[in-house]
Amino acid sequence: MKKRAAQQQLIREILRILYGRWGRQHWWPAETPFEVIVGAYLTQNTAWTNVEKALQQMRSAGVLSVEGIRKIPLTRLEKLVRSAGYFRQKATRLKQFVAFLDERYQGSLQKMFAQPTAELREELLALNGIGPETADSILLYAGQHPVFVVDSYTRRIFERHGLVKPSAKYEELRELVETGLADFALSHPDIIDPELLPLGSCHQPSPMSTASRCAQAQVFNEMHGLLVGVGKNYCLKSNPKCNECPLGSLLKK
């Protein structure tokens, strides 16, 4: 019990420090829930800059929508998402998602996201190409469900701070954060000077980053974005910049 309490205290302190330093991160940068879903598929095994190129291609072609994916020929879609890598696989999976949405929810994202979190998560995980990180990204950032997204940055930071072992499973990390921040309330001015970007992993405000969500979902949203900022800028895979990192003072000596 003491270990668990210490873990939760450290998680809360990480969020306090980062949110106090960087404020809102405005994740996920997107215009619509469906754009978030497409981005969640496309960002697998590639950099976000490559995803942005593919999204812009789709937007320019007028197919960044459920109807657009439904109607576009697969070969044409493959060309549009080519920059994201594994383009044939990803194009097929986008088609499969829309087919699932049509069959199960009459093509309505609103109906889909109205389902209980646990039930919808199981449905998403049953789809080809959707693992825990992608499912939780869709739930949190497109559907505003209160789940935490675990990625490689989260794992690296938590391992280096002694929160988890390298063998820790995805669900262990997710549950650790969700219980640790269950009643955490953010308290910081939601103002970031655009001229100071990037702060952490901050994006410009967008319709999806400023969408209405419950307090718990907002906490998980910010925690994930802030940890990405640490991972990208300080907690590097090789040669981490611990002395410069906002979380450096929390490292065990």
The CATH number for 198's domain is 1.10.1670
Of 47 and 134, the one with more pLDDT: 134
Identify whether residues 100 and 68 lie together within a single domain.
yes
Identify whether residues 82 and 170 lie together within a single domain.
no
Burial pattern 38-76, b for ≥16 Cβ within 10 A else e, equals bbbbbbbeeebebbbbbbebbeeeebbbbebbeebeeee
Identify whether residues 208 and 187 lie together within a single domain.
yes
In the predicted model, is pLDDT for residue 199 greater than 90? no
Identify whether residues 174 and 195 lie together within a single domain.
yes
For residue 88, CA distances in Å to 49, 63, 133, 217 come to: 19, 17, 21, 33
Task: Give CA–CA dist 66/229, Å, rounded.
Answer: 31
Contacts of 221 (CB under 8 A, 6+ apart): 25, 27, 140, 141, 213
Take residue 81 and report the two structure tokens written for it. Answer: 């998402």
Identify whether residues 23 and 71 lie together within a single domain.
no
Identify whether residues 158 and 59 lie together within a single domain.
no
Contact 104, 127 (CB under 8 A): no
Calculate mean pLDDT across residues 55-74.
Answer: 98
Identify whether residues 195 and 236 lie together within a single domain.
yes
Nearest in space to 11 (alpha carbons), one of 167, 153, 176, 156: 176
Identify whether residues 129 and 59 lie together within a single domain.
yes
Structural domain ending residue among the three candidates 113, 142, 171: 142
The CATH number for 84's domain is 1.10.340.30
Number of domains in the chain: 2
In the predicted model, is pLDDT for residue 44 greater than 60? yes
In the predicted model, is pLDDT for residue 197 greater than 90? no
Identify whether residues 42 and 14 lie together within a single domain.
no
Structural domain ending residue among the three candidates 142, 173, 200: 142
pLDDT band at 45 (very low <50, low <70, confident <90, very high): very high
Share of the chain above pLDDT 90, in %: 86
pLDDT band at 99 (very low <50, low <70, confident <90, very high): very high
Tens digit of pLDDT for each residue in 106-162?
Answer: 999 999 999 999 999 999 999 999 999 999 999 999 999 999 999 999 999 999 999
Identify whether residues 96 and 155 lie together within a single domain.
no
User: Which own/partner contact pairs does 61-66 have at CB distance under 8 Å and 24+ positions apart?
Assistant: 64/32, 64/34, 64/35, 64/38, 65/32, 65/34, 66/34, 66/98, 66/101, 66/107, 66/109
Which pLDDT value is given to residue 4?
84
Q: Which residue reads 């469900």 in tokens?
A: 145
Q: Which residue reads 């925690």 in tokens?
A: 223
Structural domain ending residue among the three candidates 109, 142, 175: 142
Which pLDDT value is given to residue 164?
94
Contact 158, 169 (CB under 8 A): no
Contact 246, 18 (CB under 8 A): yes
Burial of 237 (0-12, 13-18, 19+ CB in 10 A): exposed
Identify whether residues 53 and 21 lie together within a single domain.
no
Which pLDDT value is given to residue 188?
63
Share of the chain above pLDDT 70, in %: 94
Contact 50, 90 (CB under 8 A): no
Identify whether residues 136 and 156 lie together within a single domain.
no
Calculate mean pLDDT across residues 64-80.
Answer: 98
Mean pLDDT of the chain: 93
HSE, CB side, 13 Å, CA atoms: give it for residue 150: 19
In the predicted model, is pLDDT for residue 94 greater than 70? yes
* Domain boundaries, position 133: 35-142
